[in-house]
Structure 1
Amino acid sequence: MTRSILLAAISALALATSVQAAEPAASARAIHESLLTLDTHLDTPANFGRPGWDILDRHDAAKDGSQIDYPRMVEGGLDGGFFAIYTPQGPRTPEATRAARDAALIRGVEIREMVAKHGDKFGLALKADDAATIAAQGKRVVFMSIENSYPIDGDVTLLSAFYAMGVRISGLAHFKNNDMADSSTDKPEWHGLSPLGKQFVAEANRLGVVLDGSHSSDEVLDQLIALSKTPVILTHSGCKAVFDHPRNVDDARIKALADSGGVIQVDAYSSYLIDTPKNPDREAAMAALMAKVGARSKMSEDQRAAFMTEYKAIDTKWPVRKATFEDFINHLNHALKVAGVDHVGIGLDFDGGGGVTGLNDAAGYWKISERLLAEGYTKADLEKIWSGNVLRLLRAAEAAKAPTG
């Protein structure tokens, strides 16, 4: 064989190999695009009040920290999800609670205003069947949720106002206990739900709001499963058997959740996926930076750029190990093994601290489908994981809600 013939043969073999590698990816992408894809925990509304920030612009997580916007949703094949009204836990006084209530109502209005402003690109979903209708129109689906019931601590009937605004999923606690429930990252106070928290469960059931146990303690999850008339969701949680963190859920509770019809949506929050040892110097520097900049939601784009520069400098001086796409997949695979495909979904916690190496913004959502298909899951399985399971819970809540007269 001459040298030219040999080189031609090698070239042809290399081309064939590259085509074979490309075909599965192309096929996976096509399957992904055919699915209705929803993420159950998007903290993107935190950006809606930022001066100069527009969801129609393509942003860069490395430059301004944001991970979700319309161009990247299209690029990654994300049809939409649950846009969270998040309120950080503050003092448990009437004055502070009222301030939290007002902030949450404003955040809800900002979500509604975003949809109204960009009605050709987004649609507000108020019931489960709206999602497919909106997606069929070529728009992105916007459901609304509450993370932390702190704004409602003073009066559970306030949930009806948030329901009227569009909220269809609500959590109980966040990093600290509140008047409703214990947090998974605080010392037990109520040993689960408070008396007010139990009233909240009944009110959510009456309205048709799905209850979310993410961030709440194990005892809260046990009681939600026992008390709720409809299945419970964990909108963004991980598996304790993979990494033992208070925010993660043990196998027995994942099974109990599944047995009750509930769903765990797996997150991509690095310090919940793997062990990330604390560094006192880094934490002190970060705390000083946060105190210096104040409310990040009010930063101009120039202020945001300056903040990111200082943030990166701290990150460079005191680096912390970051979870990878493989670490996320480990949690997702474990949840699927324990609960089954009827009880698992996706809730990455983007724009709220989520993101791993290899999957750090909305442009990468399709990689999850590619990986699951490669591991033998079917298109029917993915339909459940991406939206079928959470929509089933919404329909159950809709069916069980009290009749209106």
Structure 2
Amino acid sequence: MRRLAITFGLIGAATAAQAAPPIISKAELALHQRLLTLDSHLDTPASLDLPGWSIEEEHGVHSDYTQVDLPRMKKGGLDGGFWAIYTSQGPLTIEGFRKARDFAILRGLSIRSMVAADPANFALALKAKDAAPIATAGKRVVYLSIENAYPLGEDVSLLKTFYDMGVRVVGFAHFAHNQFADSSTDPSKKPRYGGLSPLGKELLKEINRLGIVPDASHSSDQVLDDLLALSTTPVLLTHSGCKAVYDHPRNIDDDHLKALAAKGGVIQMNAYGAYLRASKPNPERQKAMQALFAQMREDAKLSAEARAALLAKRREIDRLYPDTDRATFDDFMAHMLHALKVVGPDHVGIGADWDGGGGVVGMEDVVDLPRITAALLKAGYGEADVQKIWSGNVLRVLAAAEVAKEK
């Protein structure tokens, strides 16, 4: 359901009691606004192509189910991040590769068009050093990333086209095995390559040559092992969690956390509820949502009117079959605090998976981001550590990739 999650949201209806966050002090809020804050996995580019939707206007998480726009970024003190070119996994055929390539290029152009259309509020970032001056100027930072390298087909040299577009982070796989790597969640539940494929190793060489950061989120543990062994630069997990807190294939265990940190890498903490803890089955809601998603698949190119009708149906599902057992902000923080305990503040960051299924009770959209800063302060982390978590660590990894390219 990931592609539909991105274009339509997986946020459930929250009760008034659930939605009320604790009070954040003026000092905590002031510190949050002072920090350079970057999220390493924004699926918001999918919203850019929705009919009638504008990044410039404020939307509502419980009305149109989107979570990021310019007004909400300003309210929540989010300076920007890595805007993902996500492509769902399709057939490993010439035609499949061609369609995915064309889709990914157009999605990248949508991101670039967003920046070009509003240079007063958005700026493209190409190097680690670009982020701070962009944020100081009051603009939102726009790095590009690729989630799922499938669109590259079997020609790793195509990566240069995306690099020239601005891509600086690349993830190898998504929900299923592809030509480059094993997925952590392939439906077969069996490895195809036992890590990176031979072509995946060639892709890693090209990633390192260009100065791009390799992303291991969604890939199997064996892929992470290969990346740690073969990459000439640190590895990033752009949106992942901790298996010690919740044993899910998308999360990684403490041994892998320590190995990642030993090579200078960083885990960016996910807020995707299904990966944070187990939840009670809700079969009526699931059945209704599956029917709605099936209708969406039949009308892939939605008109504004068709999308409005689908949103109305979604809100009716929330009314009839509310999701009463959603993960909470405390569940999200449990993963973050565990990672901090295991590898320390030099190797942990934030990649909440906004507009891609992320969001929990108490942190529904980016307006709620000051809660993370406040929680970290209450846990005993100082301003310097919180700054590392919010952007310093991911920028350090990007800078390391740039330096390795120059050698």
Do these two structures clear the TM 0.5 threshold for a shared fold by scoring above it? Answer: yes
* C-alpha distance in structure 2 between counterparts of 1:274 and 1:352, whole Å: 17
Secondary structure class of the residue paired with 2:208: helix
Q: Aligned pair 1:390/2:388, yes or no?
A: no
Q: Residue 315 of structure 1: CA displacement? A: 4.0
For structure 2, the 5+ residue unaligned runs are 1-21
- Asked whether the 8 Å contact 1:47–1:297 carries over to 2, the reply is no
Secondary structure class of the residue paired with 2:63: helix
Q: Residue 121 of structure 1: CA displacement? A: 0.3
Following superposition of structure 1 onto structure 2, how do residues 201-350 of structure 1 map, counting pairs within 5 Å? Answer: 201-279=204-282, 281-294=284-297, 298-320=301-323, 321-350=325-354
Pair 1:297–1:69, CA change in 2 (3 A) = farther
Secondary structure class of the residue paired with 1:130: helix
Pairwise CA RMSD: 1.6
Q: Aligned pair 1:67/2:67, yes or no?
A: yes
- Asked whether the 8 Å contact 1:50–1:297 carries over to 2, the reply is no
* C-alpha distance in structure 2 between counterparts of 1:297 and 1:231, whole Å: 38
- Asked whether the 8 Å contact 2:154–2:199 carries over to 1, the reply is no
* C-alpha distance in structure 2 between counterparts of 1:68 and 1:301, whole Å: 19
The letter of the residue matching 1:399 is V
Pair 1:197–1:364, CA change in 2 (3 A) = same
Cross-structure match for 2:34: 34
Cross-structure match for 1:174: 174
Q: Residue 278 of structure 1: CA displacement? A: 4.7
Q: Residue 295 of structure 1: CA displacement? A: 7.3
Cα offsets for 1:85-135 (capped at 9, x unmatched):
000001111101110000000000000000000110000000000001111
* C-alpha distance in structure 2 between counterparts of 1:337 and 1:367, whole Å: 19
* C-alpha distance in structure 2 between counterparts of 1:278 and 1:82, whole Å: 33
Cα offsets for 1:129-172 (capped at 9, x unmatched):
00011111110100000000110132111111100000000000
Following superposition of structure 1 onto structure 2, how do residues 360-379 of structure 1 map, counting pairs within 5 Å? Answer: 360-379=364-383
- Asked whether the 8 Å contact 1:182–1:192 carries over to 2, the reply is yes
The structure with the larger Rg is: 1
Q: Residue 280 of structure 1: CA displacement? A: 5.0
Cross-structure match for 1:82: 82
Secondary structure class of the residue paired with 1:61: coil
For structure 1, the 5+ residue unaligned runs are 1-20
Secondary structure class of the residue paired with 1:294: helix
* C-alpha distance in structure 2 between counterparts of 1:300 and 1:375, whole Å: 47
Pair 1:377–1:232, CA change in 2 (3 A) = same
- Asked whether the 8 Å contact 1:46–1:297 carries over to 2, the reply is no
The letter of the residue matching 2:293 is M
* C-alpha distance in structure 2 between counterparts of 1:76 and 1:175, whole Å: 30
Pair 1:299–1:65, CA change in 2 (3 A) = farther
Q: Residue 209 of structure 1: CA displacement? A: 0.4
Say which is worse superposed, 392-401 or 272-281, in terms of deviation: 272-281
Pair 1:154–1:284, CA change in 2 (3 A) = farther
The letter of the residue matching 2:138 is G
Q: Residue 318 of structure 1: CA displacement? A: 4.3
Cα offsets for 1:217-254 (capped at 9, x unmatched):
01001111111000000000000000010000101000
1:199 to 185, 199, 202: 202
The letter of the residue matching 1:263 is V
Identity level (%): 58
Pair 1:297–1:67, CA change in 2 (3 A) = farther
* C-alpha distance in structure 2 between counterparts of 1:136 and 1:121, whole Å: 12
* C-alpha distance in structure 2 between counterparts of 1:130 and 1:295, whole Å: 42
The letter of the residue matching 1:65 is Y
Cross-structure match for 2:4: none
- Asked whether the 8 Å contact 2:98–2:153 carries over to 1, the reply is no
* C-alpha distance in structure 2 between counterparts of 1:130 and 1:166, whole Å: 12
Pair 1:138–1:34, CA change in 2 (3 A) = same
TM-score (norm 2): 0.91
Displaced runs of 4 or more, over 6 A = none
Q: Residue 308 of structure 1: CA displacement? A: 2.4
Secondary structure class of the residue paired with 2:239: strand
Which is helix-richer, 1 or 2? 1
TM-score (norm 1): 0.91
Q: Residue 376 of structure 1: CA displacement? A: 1.1
